Amino acid sequence: GQIIHLEDYRPTDFVLERVDLTFELDPKETKVEARLIFHRRGGVSLAAPLVLDGDELTLTGLLLDQEEIPTALYEATPDTLTIRGLPETAPFEITVTTLLSPETNTKLMGLYRTSNVYCTQCEAEGFRRITYFPDRPDVLAAYTVNIIADKAEAPLLLSNGNYLGGADMGDGRHFAAWFDPHPKPSYLFALVAGDLGVVEDTFTTASGREVALKIYVERGKEARAAYAMDALKRSMKWDEDVFGREYDLDIFMIVAVSDFNMGAMENKGLNIFNDKYVLADPETATDADYANIEAIIAHEYFHNWTGNRITCRDWFQLCLKEGLTVYRDHEFSADMRSRAVKRIAEVRHLKSEQFPEDAGPLAHPVRPTKYREINNFYTTTVYEKGSEVTRMIATILGRDLFKKGMDLYFDRHDGQAVTIEDFIACFEDASGRDLSQFSLWYHQAGTPLVSAAGSYDLEKQTFTLLLEQTVPPTPGQTAKEPMHIPLRIGLLLEDGSEAKPSAVSGADVTGDVLHLTERKQTVVFSGIPSRPVPSFNRGFSAPINLHFEQSAHDRALIARHEADLFARWQALNAMALDNLVKAAAQARNGEPTACDDALVEGLLAAATDDRLEPAFRAQALSLPSEADIAREIGSNNDPNAIHAGRQAILAAAAAAAKDSFMRLVKEMALSGPFRPDAESAGRRALRNAALSYVVYADGRPEKAASAFGAANNMTDLSFALTLLAHRFPGAAETAAALAEFKKRFVDNALVIDKWFAIQATIPGPGTLDRVKQLMSDPLFNASNPNRVRSLIGTFAFSNLTGFNRADGEGYRFLARQILEIDPRNPQLAARLLTSMRSWRSLEEKRADHARNALQQIADAPNLSADVSDIVERTLK
Ligand code: HT7
Ligand code: ZN
């Protein structure tokens, strides 16, 4: 595929006025008739042809104003339709007929079948797999959709907008018509047809309109959609209360399907979801599943304004809708649950997914300037870093001006397809601030590094901070400009109180926000009565790496006394990370590992402090992952040493405080029926975190086995099973629990995904053979993306010691799977391959094996654009 450049953006030559689609559904031969009304844009030459996009299409009819177009005037290939000789100024109607085979569409883009249901996925460029069309987000039109289908096979016929009507056709078929009055780009088109169960409710908007809410799921699973419905109603209310945004159609529908490439899709009025993010009940869903459902239901709903009403001019602007909508769903979850705990989870996720992307060969700016395959840019940089950039705007402007800027954005751009520059201009205009330096966050890739050094002058009562920022080079960007970094900071005194400086010089300061804007800044805080302990990046106000030499004593002080709970966790986590990095080095050198007393004290102090909510205390107990440690070490990584060091620290901490952990397990027990609310989830999380230390101290499987036997919900059950499998993979108790779990949930695909994932993450070189064996289990299904991700994806992304086997067999295994999956589902294959993005940070032998496996993929014939794009950039 060729490279698309942002600078080449031009508006279309023809303006699309209306779209009228008729589908005659059939599994093998679906007929699509698209009637498109266009006019030539003013000033466009008469010689300019109409060029429409296609992808693997078969054209069976083509009319201009209902007359056949002579073959000399058009040219059709599977991926373009070019028509010449069109009117100069008058509007004209093109009728395109195409023939599709939904049943054999394994890419899950365009119109496909999943469990006998017809369904579509059009973002980013799937609509062109349905009909020839100007398939780009700046082409907006109102759509009418007529669906004709066999009545028995598809009693339910859905599309975007409001229902117009339908009728029986008398020949075993029926039809339905839908009209969406809101001009939309083709990527938001959706159609669903089949036989599904439904859960119904209503929502009355702030202005008093009643909206019908419907969630469609596989028949028999209706009860499991109740939580999703509740999350939807809360999302609708929250968007009215916090962003002043009301829903704008008579009906809002969600359809859950089991074969889906991503999490969900925000099609106008008809969201389509991976059923993993809709279905939940206590027996089958974990607390994390409930939290994900709430967040993703909210995310897709929030897109109605940030994405649908105001959309992207081109795909380079993807973060305009995704970064902003992630920010909105993060804020929603923070309001629904504990803000501090939510922030910790967000930062953990950002650091474990986005930071490695930004530090590796696939690094790109939040707003890229070129791409080969747009599917590969639905990245954690666009989504999560994009959200952090939005959050920084809110931090810099403050709540009121941020709100004013958002209101201006909605007012000014409703109904338009716009750019990041348009978005930033709204905040500049609303606040009067110049955000030009800040906008580098959209354009410069790489995680900035801020190095800090402090000195205290008792005589002058001043504390001086020397702050230096650098942005590392990334592919295609070697030299970087200094950024505007809003760094929230606190200065703690030895008694835990916060110093209030009488003056600050060397940086603009608003509240506790220090505005770093230069490569080097010397900031002097006056009126500081004694040596302060600086607490940097409160609330993770900027997505940066921060280097500051800090003693365990000072970190412990922050962990105990910071007013900002996030900063407490951050201090404890940094203390643990220091210890774990040291332990990895000791393990690698064959030296005994040492667990610092300060760490055990810090962990226990946080875990047992009952003034703090249990969910926070659980986060405090959960040590940095092996991937976190590898990232901190940075290069020449040996996963086995990292694993061994971490195990040793866990065991030592567990042994040092076993009684306290046992007490916690008892204290946090819950009685009564299961409730998925944040408080109960927090108690379960703390209880399980403590239980894992008890099991580590014990060294025997009995306690985990009895927790497995006693569990009355999926959170506890899957946690106990994970403990057994990971800690005692060869034990009889583990084999029995795995067998029982499988037998009990054999009919529930989402739970069986967990069964595969738990086994895929068993540490050690032997797991590869287990994964291979599991691939021949009758329950493994290579064409279901959730199942492939749960086994192969989890193994490659989350099993450091198993995947990075010293002999390189893990990489060769992944390469074979990628080549196998690619022809069927390139998006899925390309995403799995991104698990190799950090290969250069491995020790030499493993890195060699990884390079060879990547090369083996690169050399294979007929690679998809998706996979060849990723493999080439990863190797570069
Ligand atoms: N906007 C959607 C992103 C998306 C997608 C979803 C399903 C399948 C393929 C897809 N390509 C892109 C989801 C979202 O961010 O809300
Ligand atoms: Zn989104």
Q: Give the residue extent of every domain in the chain.
A: 311-443, 449-549, 550-699, 745-876
How far apart are alpha carbons 868 and 4 in whole angstroms? 15
Q: Which residue out of 218, 300, 322, 331 is catalytically annotated?
A: 300
Question: In terms of C-beta density within 10 A (0-12 exposed, 13-18 middle, 19 or more buried), how is residue 415 classed?
Answer: exposed
Residue 78 CB coordination number (10 Å): 12
- Please name which of 649, 539, 660, 536 lies closest in space to residue 610, comparing C-alpha atoms: 660
- Given phi > 0 = left and psi -120 to 50 = alpha, else beta, which region is 249? beta
Centre of ligand 1 to C-alpha 265, Å, is 5
Amino acid type, 721 = L
**Element containing residue 636 per DSSP (H, E):** none
Q: Which residues contact 644 (CB under 8 A, 6 or more apart)?
A: 584, 587, 593
DSSP label at residue 282: T
Q: How far is the CA of 767 from the centre of ligand 2 (A)?
A: 34
Ligand 2 center from residue 270 Cα (angstroms): 14
Q: Residue 849 and residue 811: Cα distance in Å, rounded?
A: 7
Distance CA 403, CA 135 (A): 33
Residue ID of nearest Cα to ligand 1 atom 2 = 265
Q: Where are the alpha helices (DSSP H) in 350-455?
A: 355-359, 380, 386-397, 399-413, 420-431, 440-443
Say if residues 637 and 630 touch (Cβ distance below 8 Å): yes
CB 97, CB 31: distance < 8 Å: yes
Specify whether the CB–CB gap between 703 and 691 falls below 8 A.
yes
Pocket test for ligand 1, best of 265, 266, 292, 330 (most atoms within 8 A of CB): 265
Residue owning tokens 């500081």: 528
DSSP strands (E only) in 221-365? 251-257, 264-265, 270-274, 311-312
- 322 within ligand 1 shell (Cβ under 6 A): yes
Atom of ligand 1 nearest to the CA of 121: 8
Nearest residue (CA) to ligand 1, atom 1: 265
> Which residue is it, tokens 């490695």?
356
Give every CB contact of residue 368 below 8 A, 6+ residues apart in sequence: 6, 316, 377
- Cα angle 736, 738, 743 (rounded to 5 degrees) comes to 95
Whether 120 is in the pocket of ligand 1, judged by its Cβ within 6 Å, is: no
Rounded to the nearest angstrom, the distance between the alpha carbon of 360 and the centre of ligand 1 is 24
Q: Using an 8 Å Cβ cutoff, are 111 and 130 in contact? A: yes
Q: Considering only CA atoms, which of 397, 413, 406, 374 is closest in space to residue 826?
A: 374
3-state helix/strand/coil string of 500-553: CCCEEECCEEECCEEEECCCEEEEEEECCCCCCEEEECHHHCCCCEEECCCCHH
Residue 154: Cβ within 10 Å count: 23
For 440, the token pair is 């580098």
| DSSP result, 746-801 | TT-HHHHHHHHHHHHT--STTHHHHHHHHHTSTT--TT-HHHHIIIIIHHHHH-HH
Question: How far apart, in Å, do the first and last CA atoms of the chain sit?
Answer: 17
- Any atom of ligand 1 within 6 Å of the Cβ of 578: no
Ligand 1 centre and the CA of 122: distance in Å?
9
Q: Say if pTM beats, i.e. exceeds, 0.95.
A: yes
Report the nearest atom of ligand 1 relative to the CA of 827. Answer: 9
CATH of domain 311-443: 1.10.390.10
Looking at the DSSP bridge assignments, the partners of residue 842 are: 637
Report helix angle 226-243 to 287-302, nearest 10.
Answer: 50
Q: Which residues of the chain have pLDDT under 50?
A: none
Give the per-residue pLDDT at 658.
96
CB 513 within 8 A of CB 549: no
Q: What is the DSSP letter of 647?
A: H
Q: For residues 167 and 176, give the distance between their C-alpha atoms in angstroms, rounded to a whole number.
A: 7
Residue with the smallest CA separation from ligand 1 atom 14 is 265
| Ligand showing the shortest atom-to-Cα distance for residue 265 | 1
Q: At the top level of CATH, which class does the domain 449-549 belong to?
A: mainly beta
Q: What does the DSSP 8-state code read for residue 159?
A: E
Ligand 1 touching residue 326 (CB < 6 A): no
Q: Is 266 in the pocket of ligand 1 (CB under 6 A)?
A: yes
Whether the CB of 866 sits within 6 Å of ligand 1: no
Radius of gyration of the chain (CA): 28
CATH hierarchy code of domain 550-699: 1.25.50.10
CA–CA separation, 276 and 804 (whole Å): 29
Burial class (CB in 10 A: 0-12, 13-18, 19+), 206: middle
Q: Which ligand is the nearest neighbour of the Cα of 328?
A: 2
Pocket residue to mutate for ligand 1, from 106, 119, 123, 375, most atoms within 8 A of Cβ:
123
Which superfamily does CATH assign the domain made up of 745-876 to?
Peptidase M1, alanyl aminopeptidase, C-terminal domain (1.25.50.10)
123 Cα: distance to centroid of ligand 1 (angstroms):
6
Residue 300 known to be catalytic: yes
Amino acid occupying residue 722: T
Q: How far is the CA of 378 from the centre of ligand 1 (A)?
A: 8
Q: Do domains 550-699 and 745-876 have the same CATH topology?
A: yes
Q: Which residue's C-alpha comes closest to atom 15 of ligand 1?
A: 322
Our answer on whether the CB atom of 299 is closer than 6 Å to any ligand 1 atom is yes
* 289 close to ligand 1 (CB < 6 Angstrom): no
Strand extents, DSSP E, 218-277: 251-257, 264-265, 270-274
In the prediction, which pLDDT does 1 show? 74
In the sheet that holds 156-159, the strands lie side by side as 110-114, 117-121, 191-194, 156-159
Please state the φ and ψ torsions of residue 641, each to the nearest 5 degrees.
Answer: -65, -40
Q: How far apart are CA 32 and CA 54, in angstroms?
A: 13
Ligand 1 within 6 A of CB of 379: no
What is the rounded distance in angstroms from the CA atom of residue 385 to the CA atom of residue 369?
Answer: 16
By the 8 A CB rule, do 21 and 33 touch? yes
Is the CB of 123 inside a 6 Å radius of any atom of ligand 1?
A: yes
Ligand 2 centre distance from Cα of residue 312 (Å): 12
Q: Is the CB of 378 under 6 A from ligand 1?
A: yes
